[in-house]
């Protein structure tokens, strides 16, 4: 055996380490499967990437009338092509970017003078439209859609906060 071959065996060539995404470690398998289903619903042309046309089609199917600026703004959140890994990464960043559950609950509690866990829906609407980062009427309507509001018009912010951070019981 030649000295060169012996040197190769003695000191094998080191391979570069592959950079792997840790995004899959943030979610359990059931969550990843749900994100995959959502991704596939948005990827209308089934090419493995979400593009602006896919996004427009999906928004239209939800009754929205997307304009080009909104769609391009959404697409610009991804630093490159929006495949499933990038989709999952964006959701991971968004979910990690939200306030902890107790902080959100306490923000609502500031407007619950009787500490009941409820705020009158009309009063909350007024607060959201007139204070801080003001919501539009459409944004408030969207928030209340599917939200826990009882027959007396009281918004259950404790349940809403749990749903916001953990999803519904059905999920």
Q: Which two tokens stand for residue 163?
A: 């749903």
CB neighbours of 29 closer than 8 A, spacing ≥ 6?
A: none
pLDDT tens per residue, range 107-149: 999 999 999 999 999 999 999 999 988 999 999 998 888 889 9
What crossing angle do the helices spanning 68-75 and 52-61 adopt, rounded to 10°?
120
Percent of the chain residues past pLDDT 70, beyond the cut: 82
Task: Band the pLDDT of 168: cuts 50, 70, 90.
Answer: low
pTM, to two decimals: 0.48
Dig out the tokens for 98 from the structure: 């939200």
How many CB atoms are located within 10 Å of the residue 115 CB?
Answer: 7
Question: Over 80: is that where the pLDDT of 46 sits?
Answer: yes
Structure tokens at 142: 């969207």
Span 148-153, average pLDDT:
93
Q: What SS3 state is found at 156?
A: strand
pLDDT-based confidence at residue 103 (cuts at 50, 70, 90) = confident
Q: What are φ and ψ of residue 125, in 5° steps?
A: -60, -45
Cβ pair 74, 68 in contact under 8 A: no
Residue 120, helix vs strand vs coil: strand
Q: Which ranges in the chain belong to alpha helices (H)?
A: 3-10, 29-42, 52-61, 68-75, 84-96, 101-109, 121-130, 137-144, 157-166
User: What's the distance, CA 107 to chain centroid?
Assistant: 21
Supply the pLDDT for residue 17: 37
* pLDDT (0 to 100) of residue 13: 42
pLDDT tens, position by position, 71-95: 998 898 888 889 998 898 888 877 7
Pairing of strands 118-120, 154-156: antiparallel
Q: Is 20 or 92 the better-scoring residue by pLDDT? A: 92
11 pLDDT above the threshold of 50: no
- What pLDDT score does 169 carry? 61
- Token output for 31: 């969550």
């Amino acid at each position: 055996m030649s000295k060169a071959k012996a040197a190769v065996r003695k000191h094998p060539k080191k391979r570069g380490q592959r950079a792997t995404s840790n995004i899959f470690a943030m979610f359990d398998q059931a969550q990843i499967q749900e994100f995959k289903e959502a991704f596939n619903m948005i990827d209308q042309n089934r090419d493995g990437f979400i593009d602006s046309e896919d996004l427009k089609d999906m928004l239209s199917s939800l009754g929205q009338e997307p304009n080009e600026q909104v769609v391009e703004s959404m697409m610009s959140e991804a630093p490159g092509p929006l495949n499933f890994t990038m989709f999952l990464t964006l959701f991971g960043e968004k979910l990690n970017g939200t306030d902890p559950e107790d902080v959100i609950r306490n923000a609502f509690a500031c407007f619950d003078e009787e500490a009941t866990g409820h705020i009158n829906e009309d009063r909350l609407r007024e607060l959201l439209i007139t204070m801080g980062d003001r919501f539009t009427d459409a944004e408030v309507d969207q928030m209340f859609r599917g939200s826990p509001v009882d027959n007396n018009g009281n918004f259950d912010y404790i349940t809403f906060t749990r749903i916001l951070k953990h999803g519904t019981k059905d999920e």
